[in-house]
């Protein structure tokens, strides 16, 4: 796995091979990640990355959040409750020299509780497939005040998710076994 664009382009991330099913690590492939960022940057919905505060839920290796940093995001909070995932995250953050602009939280992404700080304008959501954890996480984001007005959510799953109101689904694409859904929070 490598960072595919931006100032860190080509940076090799810690190797997890095909993933670790026991640790729920299923890395987003470079090809899918590149397609997602092309969709974000070149889509008709406006590029949400420059200077964004990013929340990377079910972060795993952190490749999505680090890719956003590489392309101009200002800060990324990585959320994963897995021991193996957090070890990989820390390694990848060090490789990217991003310690000062990242946070790693050992928390359950489906139950973040109330946000006590600034909201997030870009959220990556890559839950373990087939467990409906994405729906729980999004409900928690909305209820806890984690999203800024107009925030973009990039949701990866193996089936089309049920995007809850007040979010609006704006795009959906399939890349192999992965379905990428883009949803936006209301602007006001």
Nearest partner of 60 among 99, 34, 93, 37, judged by Cα: 93
Average pLDDT, the chain: 90
- Is the model's pLDDT at 50 over the cut of 70? yes
Can you tell me the distance from the alpha carbon of 164 to that of 179, in angstroms, rounded to the nearest whole number? 17
- 32: helix, strand or coil: helix
Q: Are 120 and 152 in contact (CB under 8 A)?
A: no
What percent of the chain clears pLDDT 70, i.e. is strictly above it? 93
Residue for token pair 């929070």? 185
Residue range 72-98, pLDDT digits in tens:
999 999 999 988 889 999 999 999 999
Residue range 131-176, pLDDT digits in tens:
889 999 999 999 999 999 999 999 999 999 999 999 999 999 999 8
Confidence of residue 184 (pLDDT cuts 50, 70, 90): very high
Domains of the chain: 21-184 (3.40.50.150)
pTM of the predicted structure, to 2 decimals: 0.92
Confidence of residue 19 (pLDDT cuts 50, 70, 90): very low
- Is the model's pLDDT at 27 over the cut of 80? no
Sequence-distant (6+) residues with CB within 8 A of 76 are 53, 54, 55, 56, 62, 65, 66, 68, 69, 98, 101, 102, 103
Q: For 159-166, which contacts have Cβ atoms below 8 Å and span 24 or more sequence positions?
A: 159/129, 159/130, 161/134, 161/135, 162/135, 163/138, 164/135, 164/138, 164/139, 166/142
Confidence of residue 2 (pLDDT cuts 50, 70, 90): confident
Can you tell me the distance from the alpha carbon of 171 to that of 184, in angstroms, rounded to the nearest whole number? 10
Can you tell me the distance from the alpha carbon of 89 to that of 152, in angstroms, rounded to the nearest whole number? 23
What percent of the chain clears pLDDT 90, i.e. is strictly above it? 72
Confidence at residue 20, expressed as pLDDT on a 0 to 100 scale: 47
């Amino acid at each position: 796995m490598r960072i595919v664009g931006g100032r860190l382009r080509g940076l090799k991330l810690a190797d997890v091979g095909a993933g670790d099913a026991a640790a729920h690590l299923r890395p987003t492939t470079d090809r899918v990640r590149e397609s997602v960022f092309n969709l974000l940057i070149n889509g008709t919905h406006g590029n949400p990355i420059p200077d964004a505060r990013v929340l990377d839920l079910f972060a795993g290796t952190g490749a999505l959040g680090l890719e956003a940093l590489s392309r101009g995001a200002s800060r990324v909070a990585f959320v994963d409750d897995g021991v193996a995932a957090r070890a990989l995250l820390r390694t990848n953050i060090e490789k990217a020299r991003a310690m000062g602009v990242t946070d790693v939280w050992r928390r359950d992404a489906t139950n973040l509780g109330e946000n006590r700080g600034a909201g997030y304008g870009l959220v990556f959501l890559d839950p373990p497939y087939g467990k409906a954890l994405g729906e729980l996480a999004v409900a928690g984001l909305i209820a806890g005040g984690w999203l800024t007005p107009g925030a973009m959510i990039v949701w990866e799953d193996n089936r089309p998710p049920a995007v809850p109101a007040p979010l609006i689904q704006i795009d959906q694409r399939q890349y192999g076994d992965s379905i990428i859904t883009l949803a936006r929070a209301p602007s006001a």
